[in-house]
Amino acid sequence: MVSVVKVTVTRITDHCPFYKEGDSFLIRQQCFDPACATPRQFCLHSLKDIYDTWKEVRRGPVGGKASVGCMDKGKAQFELERLDDADLPGWH
């Protein structure tokens, strides 16, 4: 069983070349699969911004949520939500 956290873009306050409101992707354990995500590109800075919040949410209860803004003056706001654990095969 692995933890699953859904990341959703809840707000864009200025031009963001990577995300739009409503975009989402899943982080299963410590991996994300861009093929299962709505964004076609990922901002490396935003992944760093999300990381610490993801660590807290993935250890919390199912349904737990937290929000974080990106380092670029908070242009993108992300909501992270802990989903039910998933029974997935080993990572390769």
pLDDT for res 31: 87
**Overall domain count for the chain:** 1
Q: What is the pLDDT of residues 25-82, one digit of tens each?
A: 999 888 887 878 999 889 999 999 999 999 999 999 999 999 999 988 889 999 999 9
Q: How far apart are CA 57 and CA 60, in angstroms?
A: 5
Range of the domain at 32: 2-86
pLDDT for res 86: 84
Does 46 fall in a domain?
A: yes
Does 91 fall in a domain?
A: no
Q: Output the CA angle 48-69-24, nearest 5 degrees.
A: 75
pLDDT for res 91: 54
Does 92 fall in a domain?
A: no
Does 22 fall in a domain?
A: yes
Predicted TM-score (pTM) of the model is 0.90
Q: Is 37 exposed, middle or buried (0-12, 13-18, 19+ CB in 10 A)?
A: middle
